[in-house]
Amino acid sequence: MPHRLAVYPGTFDPVSNGHIDVIERGSQLFEQLVVACAVNISKQPLFSLEERMEMLRECTADFTNVRIESFSGMVVDYVRSLSGKVILRGLRTFSDYENEVQMAYANRTFAPDIETVFVCASLEESFISSRLIREAAALDGDISRFVPEGVAKRLRSKASALKGEVKKHSEGR
C-alpha cells in the first residue's frame, strides 16, 4: 500500500535552499509532507524553535501539501503519532550517506514498520550545510545564494551572535 504521508525531520537552523529542495521534491512524492522541526537536546541552535518554524512556514507557503510542526524525542515515535510510515531524508555527500544510513538502521531497530526514504540533493545544493551558512554569515559573506531572502535577513540580524559562535568554535580547536 503506498504511503501518503512522510515526515521530513531536522533542526533547520537555519533553513537553507537545500532543505527547500528536499521539501519540494518530497511534496511531489507524497500526498502530505510534514516538515518536523526538532527540539534537539544535543544542539544549541542559533534560532529559537519558534523562529525556525516561522522561517519554514514562510519558505513553504507555496506548497499546499506541506505542513510545519515541531517535535521532541525520538523521530519514530513522532512519525507513529501521525500514523505515518515514512521518514524523508536528504543526502548531500558520502559522509551524509554514512550518518543517515546509521540513523536509518537505528530507527528501523526501534520501529521496523517505519521506512526511511532518501533523496539526493540537487547538485547545486549538495555542498550547502547550515553550519557553513552560519559561518559565512558570521564572516559577513554573501549568503544570498544559500538561503531564501527572509532567512538571510534574520541571519544578518543575528550577526553578533554568529561572530561569537565562530569565535567559540575556533577556540575549541
- Active-site positions read 19, 43, 92, 130
- 55 vs 11, 51, 95, CA distance in Å? 12, 6, 27
Asked if 51 and 19 touch (Cβ cutoff 8 Å), the reply is no
DSSP helix/strand/coil, 2: coil
d(CA 125, CA 53): 21
d(CA 46, CA 59): 18
d(CA 121, CA 107): 22
Asked if 135 and 166 touch (Cβ cutoff 8 Å), the reply is yes
Residue type, 93: T
